[in-house]
Every structure is written in C-alpha cells, then in structure tokens.
Structure 1
C-alpha cells in the first residue's frame, strides 16, 4: 500500500474538512495572483485545526500586514505593489469570516467586512482608471458593481459578467476567472447581488431564487456603456451562482454563452439530504409547527448557531421556513426555456451538489457542453479550488468560441 502523504486528498492541509477546503481556495487564489503560496502556507501553520477563532486571528493578522504594506507602497509610488498587497489583504479579511458562525464573539463580522471592502476599494482606486464603480439600479437600493477593464482607454470590449456564490468575496472573483479574463483583453463585471456581501451585511437584502430579476438590470446597465461591447456579453456563475446563472438565462437571452461552475439543478438537495424520513415527511406535508418542534427537541446548540448564520441570507426565521424557501431554488421547471449555449463544469468529489452537473446537462435542451475535472489533475472538489487556472482557460475558451467574429 502506498504510504506517501497525499496532500491532494481531503485532510491534507487540515483534518477538519471545511478548514481544508477553505485553505485550498486560498492556495488556488495565490496561483491566480491573489496573495502568495508561501503566505498561505505560513498562515495555515499558525491555525489550530478546527478552531474558528484561531482561523480568524491568523487571516486578519496577515491581512493587516498586507494592508499596511499596500499603503506604504502607495505612498512610495509603487502602485503595482500596492494593488497586489491591497487585493490580497481584502481577500484575507474576507476569508477570515468564513467560520464566524462558530466564534464566541460574532460581533467582529461587520467591522471586519468593512475593513475588507475598504481594502478592495483602495485597490480599485489604485488602478489608474482601469477599474470603475458601476452601480446597478435594483428595487429600493442599487447593487454595487465594479467594471474591471484591462486599461483606461474606454475601448469597447467583450465583458464577462460574474455571478458570485452564496458567500464569496469580490477579490475572490479575481481568482475565479476575472483576472484571466482581463489578461485576454476582456472586461469583467463583478457585483454584489441580493443576499451577497454588502447587500446582506450592510443592508439586510436577502437572496432571491429568480435571478433573472438581478441579471436583467445588470445587463441593462452594462449595455448603456461605450466601453462594453453589447454583442459580446458572456456569463459565469460560481458555486451557488451555478444555479443562479442557469435560472437567469432561462429568461434573459442577451448573453452569447454562459458557464455554470458547477452545474446545479436543485440547491435544496444538499439541505434536505440529511433529514430523517419522519422530518422530511412533515416538511412535505407543510406541518410547520410539528416540524419545528421536532427539530427543537433534538437541536445541538453549535449546529443551531451555524444554521442561524447560514440561513441569514434567506431571511428565514425557522428551519421549516428556510427549507421551504430553499426548495424554490431549482431549475427543473424552467430549464426547457434556455437557448443560451451553456458549459456545465463537473468536478470529481463535488461535495455540495453531487451528481447535479450531469443531471443539469441531461436536462438542457439546447447547445451544451459538460467538462469534468479530476483528482489526477489536482482539480477535484467543489469549484476546483486548486485547479483554477486549468478551469479558467477551459471556460474562457468556451466563451470565446461564442463571441462574434470581428475578422482579422
């Protein structure tokens, strides 16, 4: 039997599976230019496995050092260094919060988020006009958006519109395809939608299942801009964004092509999979009071704290309300309306939506492709955290093949 330590397998960085996964995201981001591998590994060494407070302290400590380095570089006129340090600081402040639900003091969430976003804004401001803020009208409160451009020329370019996942950060999207899109001479548009980041933490705007109500005003706003080629808009949904982008293109047909990473058919499946049959029967029958009473009788306090945090973006007061709402997040009823060419990403060991990429691919009625990622490539697991460059080249090639031919 091979006794070598397989660091590509779960548990290679932490025994705690969630800590291990999040650490891999940091390594993948470093491969895409956000931070550095050595910084990530050194920070991992300072974290007590499975301890949320230790995780928070380690990443905020690194982020503070990088923020100071960025400001010092700005003062010295070293703008490239400043931008690298500030975007890394923003990412590490944001990722420091991923286990805040397990911390004894959760009051750190909002001030840390604001520090994270301040670093991001300083990064944008240091771009010499290449990156610009673009608010998107949305109901009673505009969505904050950022059009990242390769330069400040104002030339009309293909634009990658990125739909984030349930708890991802804006700097994290640089390492989820935006940086590689910029390298190809494209724009990338990043934004906080309802239930995401500032819309949730600052304004308590919850998720919504009908993402077409979000994507349509985004595209309306971009199409008014002279630096966006209106015939060359493409879309990408990461993590739970794989559901949202698929749902949206069933109604919104102005994208030339889109990518779901991974393919998601039903968000609720991962929420209900562990429910005992009697509880599932109560949920199916709509017996709210009995369901909540049964859950409360056997509730573990730590799990209930985590549930309260995870349910916050859904604006649900009880587990019954949460699961009832999440069950709306499925595409079976609308997938037949999709005409947009769609690439579905299907990694080995998908832990949140297992089997769903192939299920989505089978349901899609129009031009479609499915692309697998494997452990042999070091690209397994949800959103291929340590296979990001491999992922980006594949998805951007697919999208590029669907852009208008502008000739030689």
Structure 2
C-alpha cells in the first residue's frame, strides 16, 4: 500500500482499531489530540494486545506534561495537555472488554475524568459543573460557556452515544458552539461513563425521562436562554435524541449524528434469520444455546461483551437481544416529533447503514438529510476525520432555526439532500 493511501486503505487491518485511529486523529481539529501523538503511538502497535499498553504510555506522558505546565503557572498550556490526556485515557478505557479486570477499567476511566475535570477548571470559571436532578440521584453535567459573564446564550445540549467519553463531545460539537458564542452542555446519562462505571445505572430506551430533567435544570439558569435551546445526539444518541423529542418540545431544533431508527439492527448482524425467528417466537433455550456456540468466535464474543455491559439484561442472551429491540422508533413515536431535525448521513456508515435515510423519510418535511462523502474526507460513522466540516454544516443549519434568524439561510454548506430529493449547493 502506498503510504499516502492510509485514508482509503486504512491504518490497520482490524476495522475497530482503524476506526478508533481515525477518531483520535479527528479530535486534533479542536485540540483533543495531537496528530504526532496519534501517529507515533500507532507506529508502536501491531494489534489489539499492544493498543492499551501504548495508549497508556501516551496518556501518562500527556498528563505529566499537563501537570508540569500547571506547576509553572501556565494554565492555558496545562488545560490543553489535560484535554489530550483525557482523550488518550478514554481510549485506554474503551480497550477494556471481555475478561478484563474491572479495577483496571475503573483506573483508566478515573484518570480520564480527572484530566477532563482539570481541563474544565483551566478556563477561569467559564465552565461550571451542573448536577441534574434525576429520579433519586443526579446526572453529572458540565455547562461549558464562552466566558464567565453569565449572560444568557443559545445552548447546545449534547447527548453522547453508547460508549463515548465526555472529552469526545468537545470535538463533537462543544468547541464549535463556544467558538460561535453559544454555551454547550454535556452530561452522563444512564448507562454512560460515570453513571455506569461508578453507579451501575444501565441504559434506558425512553430518553425523554433523561432529557426533560436536563432541560428543566438548564432553563432555570440565568446564563441559558431557554428560548434558544438546541440538541444534538452523537452515535447512539442519534436514536435517543429523536426519541426524546417526541415528548420534550422545548428545543428549537436538533441534530441526529447520524440518524438511528432501530438500534437493534446493529445487533442483528450477529445472528442469522433462524435465530431472529427464535427471538420472535420466544424460544429462549434454543436462542441461548445457539448464542453460546456463536460466541465461541473470539471476535464476536468480545464485541458483544463490550456492547452489552450497559444494558439491564446483559446476563442472558435472549433477554439482552429482546431488550435491545425496544430501542426503536415506532410510527406513533415519530408522529409526535415536531422539532426540526438535521440528520447526518455519512458515506460508508458502518454501524447503522441506511438508518439516516430511513429516519429522514419517516419525518418527511420535519427533517433535512445531509450527506457526507469519502471524496471530502467525511466518510464513516460520525465523520471522524471531518468534525470541522460537520460543524460548519450543523451550526449553519442550527443558527438558521433560532428565533430571529435571517431568512434564506436554511441549507448547510456542502451537498445537502432533503427528503424530497432536492439538492442544494452551498
């Protein structure tokens, strides 16, 4: 392979490692990584057994640099290094899968969160912690503001995916919001990060029970303009946000990056037609028997163990797959969505192929579908190597939805295809 064809040919033969490398490189756009760090680290990696060890080395080095700069009084430099360290520690934590010790996973996660908190604290009070009342506990959140003046601003509420770290949301929309004079709010919901790893709280499909308390907490604050709230769901958040919008109507507009109608389609690739029939017919014993055989394959066993840890029914294959099937938008739920929705549609979407188009079609004129292509370096799930391009299109559209926006500015830059099939050039 010619060395200049890494984008099209891949950095690793292992698709997961290749995708994670692209994500890490993409974080550099907003300071979440250093390109040299990423390339130098993967240069030492042959396969999965090396991944965690080498990223631990890189994470430790970034944290030492941050602490050294902080001790010298360079708050800005320290903050930037802490953000990179948080990214790298999150990368280490994501590498813990089946058979790994829980203490090791917790150690990497807590190192990540400590570095993230140090990054947040480096902004001189502009960024503040906000605990969101939720059932009998609270959700840990952070209101990231352009400055500490406390004036009311448009606020982007970012909902993460199934395994994303808060530091990933910095390049997933938060930095773009701050650059435009907006606030950004990031948080851990049920099954996400600290809620899962520290408190053992699993996912839930009815995300309106999560997002409504978030909105309640934000609109009560004087530094949030409650009339200019927008939302974005990243990865599996592309299901959770549309689901919540069916019942929570205080957002002016929202983004599904990418759009997801049925989370379980990703899981169903692991089973054949006959096993799907067993699920439909309620044949628990037969399904579990065949799953025990199927998971003799190390790759499938590892992937399912990783993906199942945040669900309530993780101890029984039949119950787990039946539960994941409830994470889907039915016709009644879609009919309740009134909020305008931008749906990203990256070429080569590998986790939920075809789902963005399906969501846009279900929503009709309530949605705008925006294509991202390999030719512009914006292919694959959540456009990992094109986060600035994503922000240009997303914020262009969101800005046009805010009260008082100038007419005629609705279309994002680049090729955007609405559900009517019409295309526009920016």
Alpha-carbon distance in 1 for matches of 2:248, 2:119: 32
Counterpart selection for 2:198 from 197, 202, 215 = 202
Alpha-carbon distance in 2 for matches of 1:189, 1:391: 18
The answer to whether the 8 Å contact 1:283/1:320 transfers is yes
Counterpart selection for 2:12 from 11, 14, 19 = 14
Residue aligning to 1:248: 244
Q: Once structures 1 and 2 are overlaid, which stretch shifts more, 95-104 or 188-197?
A: 95-104
- Following superposition, the deviation at residue 3 of structure 1 comes to 7.0
Q: Cα deviations across residues 283-329 of structure 1 (Å, max 9, x unaligned)?
A: 11111122112222443163334423321101211121111111111
Q: Once structures 1 and 2 are overlaid, which stretch shifts more, 102-111 or 204-213?
A: 102-111
The answer to whether the aligner puts 1:218 opposite 2:217 as a matched pair is: no
Residue aligning to 2:175: 179
Residue ranges of structure 2 left out of the alignment (5+ in a row): 407-426
The answer to whether the aligner puts 1:336 opposite 2:335 as a matched pair is: yes
Residue-pair matches, total: 403
Give the SS at the match of 1:231: strand
Alpha-carbon distance in 1 for matches of 2:289, 2:63: 47
Residue aligning to 1:48: 46
- Following superposition, the deviation at residue 177 of structure 1 comes to 1.1
- Following superposition, the deviation at residue 406 of structure 1 comes to 7.8
State the TM-score, normalized to the length of structure 2: 0.91
Give the SS at the match of 2:123: coil
Q: Is the alpha carbon distance of 1:367 and 1:108 closer, same or farther for their aligned partners in structure 2, counting shifts above 3 Å?
A: same
Residue aligning to 1:397: 396
Residue aligning to 1:86: 82
The answer to whether the aligner puts 1:161 opposite 2:148 as a matched pair is: no
Counterpart selection for 1:279 from 260, 275, 278 = 275
State the TM-score, normalized to the length of structure 1: 0.95
The answer to whether the 8 Å contact 1:339/1:366 transfers is no
Give the SS at the match of 1:101: coil
- Following superposition, the deviation at residue 246 of structure 1 comes to 0.7
Alpha-carbon distance in 2 for matches of 1:211, 1:173: 18
Residue aligning to 1:257: 253
Q: Is the alpha carbon distance of 1:149 and 1:4 closer, same or farther for their aligned partners in structure 2, counting shifts above 3 Å?
A: closer
Residue aligning to 2:371: 372
Alpha-carbon distance in 1 for matches of 2:29, 2:302: 34
Residue ranges of structure 1 left out of the alignment (5+ in a row): none
Residue aligning to 1:320: 318
Residue aligning to 1:35: 33
The answer to whether the 8 Å contact 2:98/2:306 transfers is no
Q: Is the alpha carbon distance of 1:38 and 1:4 closer, same or farther for their aligned partners in structure 2, counting shifts above 3 Å?
A: closer
Cα RMSD for the two superposed structures: 1.6
Q: Cα deviations across residues 215-258 of structure 1 (Å, max 9, x unaligned)?
A: 00000000010000111100000000000011110111100000
Alpha-carbon distance in 1 for matches of 2:144, 2:291: 46
The answer to whether the 8 Å contact 1:340/1:366 transfers is no
Q: Is the alpha carbon distance of 1:298 and 1:378 closer, same or farther for their aligned partners in structure 2, counting shifts above 3 Å?
A: closer
The answer to whether the 8 Å contact 2:399/2:405 transfers is no
Q: Cα deviations across residues 80-136 of structure 1 (Å, max 9, x unaligned)?
A: 101100011011101112221156555410111111111111111221100000000
The answer to whether the 8 Å contact 1:378/1:386 transfers is yes
Alpha-carbon distance in 2 for matches of 1:36, 1:190: 23
Residue aligning to 1:129: 125
Q: Cα deviations across residues 319-367 of structure 1 (Å, max 9, x unaligned)?
A: 2111111111111231111110000100100000000111111000443
Which of the pair has the greater relative contact order for Cα pairs under 8 Å at 6+ separation?
Answer: 1
